[in-house]
Chains A and B, each alone.
Chain A
Amino acid sequence: DAGVIQSPRHEVTEMGQEVTLRCKPISGHDYLFWYRQTMMRGLELLIYFNNNVPIDDSGMPEDRFSAKMPNASFSTLKIQPSEPRDSAVYFCASNMGGGTQYFGPGTRLTVL
């Protein structure tokens, strides 16, 4: 079975540009999570969805970040405009009903 799929795997962009990260959760999972990981702050939960509805976005750092889940098989995390401090690895994860979370391979974002 396919796991969580994320794209792109690597993204290098310049400050001020819009960045869109994509995620396809495991089929049948009703929860989807977006995380950011840096050496300094570790793994931080940004937002999570249940049945495509955003439940808690308190981890979203600021208005430059937005996330959508238009259907059960697709979600996006957008940063506009991007800044160098947004450089991190962004993970998407999914699960069913609060159980084990399965992570995608991550998107390594570098903002110059």
Chain B
Amino acid sequence: RKEVEQDPGPFNVPEGATVAFNCTYSNSASQSFFWYRQDCRKEPKLLMSVYSSGNEDGRFTAQLNRASQYISLLIRDSKLSDSATYLCVVNAYTGGFKTIFGAGTRLFVKA
């Protein structure tokens, strides 16, 4: 089992739709969580951190469920520019610092 698992997609949605991605992690010692966005042939960039209380940034909402060991990303009112790959990232400190990236979920938003 992979340490961080995501549905690879692709998710094909129309503009204006709401879309949700989930990510599960296996290491219960994981301490910090992030969503990154990666555009085609570009580097990954931080989209948002994920806090235990959940957090919202405009059309984007991230939530963490420690008991079930998953994080989620909700995108409301999808825009064409949201088309990208979304990477789930988990940091754990288990005798050493460890960062694991999920394989990513591809999103295509169509007009």
Contacts and interface: CB of A to CB of B under 8 A. Distances in A.
Q: Do A and B bind each other?
A: yes
Interface of A: 31, 33, 35, 42-43, 45, 48, 50, 55-56, 91, 98-106
Contacts of B102: 42
A98 B87 CA distance: 17
Contact of B99 (A33, A42, A50): A33
A3 B101 CA distance: 21
Interface in B59-85: none
Interface string B90-111: 0101001111111110000000
Interface string B26-51: 00000010100000001111100100
Interface secondary structure of A, over-half rule:
strand
Interface of B: 32, 34, 42-46, 49, 87, 89, 91, 93, 96-104
A2 to B, nearest CB: 14
A100 B34 contact: yes
Contacts of A98: 32, 91, 93, 97
Contact of B49 (A31, A33, A48, A100): A100
